[in-house]
Homo-oligomer: A and B are copies of this chain.
Amino acid sequence: MSESRLWQRLMRLAEIGARGDGGVDRQALSPGEIDAWRLLLSWATEAGLEPSTDAAGNLFLTRPGRDRALPPGLIGSHIDTQPTGGKFDGAFGVLAALEAATTLPTPARDLTVVAWMNEEGSRFAPGMMGSEAFADVRDLATIRAARDAAGISVGDALDALHAAFPDMPRRPLGFAPAFYIEPHIEQGPVLEAQGIPLGIVTGIQGKITWEVVIDGEEGHAGTLDMDRRRDAVMAFARIATRMQRDVGEADPIVKFTIGRVTVQPNAPSVVAGRVVFRIDLRHPDNAALQAHAARLEAAALAEAPPCAVTVTRLVDAPSNDFDAGLRDRLAAAAARLGLPAMPILSAAGHDARHLAPLCPAAMIFIPCREGISHSPEEWAEPDDVQAGAALLAAVVEELTT
């Protein structure tokens, strides 16, 4: 296994969609992601891996095993980024998996590297579309109907992706892997603060997302009396402030975010007629998650008047636990390698959530600087990248010998 090659590939992949500020903007199904596929394919085919895709736009790169009738082992992550993303989120997992699949001795069963379609959900919401379709959590037709801000549908973008790779074999959507392991940066501060290079992920905190639509009434900013207004921006401000008080500031563990807000008509001298916004709520305890969700929905209904409000849940994913046997195996392998490791909860969602019902699944975390992610500032140290890749390779070899 080549340490310097993995790091060089991380830096090379980050050139595709590079922002001027050191970050990466390579959103799902964009021309940049298609270029990134080409780069992965050049590395994979050079190493004898077999590419394939499925109807959901997931990319598979398979190292043939001795018995090809056995269910394959699956390892990987995603290569799409946030619009203001970094070099490591997703890319580290895919490239560490590629390194393992490339360098291990011929495995007993097929070993498949996967890059899931649209993990991030920034261009097309919600995210994890590829793994959701793969695991039959969400219907492909529903996924294809989602549109980006420019009105382009996932369906059209998927067709364009496949048209760019006309010769790539298409496999049926979904299968039962022998196991799934996803390496990823932590996207939180715990490992760095503890000085420990490896996290064996115990599970993923639950997540609920909403779209909220506030309907007021447009009017002239200079003439409409304040007490006759139904101002959607002011209703938004009240709702957001109440939600922050009732949920964001009420629990040291909860994560509550309003990251997207659009105002209509968004003109400086027009009282806003409509505001549409998204809520992202996460908590590791399912009862607490649902209790906070109820508080958020109550806050929207209480503070919206005199505007009207509709509150729609987009994602409702309870917290999950990863496979205990696989976690034990990861911990033992880390000890054998002499690498410190600790159990850790994943605060962020990952495709591994949807693989866990299909097969033994687990995740490996490595530290990232100051816990910063979804930002051009995102950074992981070469030694930690190497530690995560080494642990993956060790366990995969154990599982496929």
Contacts and interface: CB of A to CB of B under 8 A. Distances in A.
Interface in A81-125: 82-84, 120-122, 125
B254 A373 contact: no
B207 A226 contact: no
B257 A271 contact: yes
Interface string A369-385: 00111110000000000
Contacts of A127: 269
A222 B282 contact: yes
B219 A372 contact: yes
Contact of A233 (B223, B224, B240, B373): B240
A361 to B, nearest CB: 18
Interface string A245-260: 0001100101111111
A231 B240 CA distance: 12
Contacts of A125: 268
A263 B261 contact: yes
Interface string A264-275: 011111111100
A130 interface: no
A250 to B, nearest CB: 9
Given A222-B280, A223-B371, A272 B248 contact: no
A337 interface: no
A39 interface: no
A221 B120 CA distance: 12
A261 B349 CA distance: 29
Nearest to A251: B226
A332 interface: no
A62 interface: no
A234 interface: yes
B84 A265 contact: yes
25 contacts: A84-B273, A121-B268, A121-B269, A122-B267, A122-B269, A122-B270, A125-B268, A126-B268, A189-B225, A205-B222, A219-B374, A220-B374, A220-B375, A221-B259, A221-B374, A222-B347, A223-B347, A225-B255, A226-B248, A234-B241, A234-B248, A234-B258, A237-B241, A238-B241, A260-B266
Closest 6 CB pairs of A and B: A237-B240, A221-B257, A222-B348, A188-B223, A268-B278, A223-B347
Interface of A: 82-84, 120-122, 125-127, 186-189, 205, 207, 209, 218-227, 231, 233-234, 236-238, 240-241, 244, 248-249, 252, 254-263, 265-273, 278, 280, 282, 347-349, 371-375
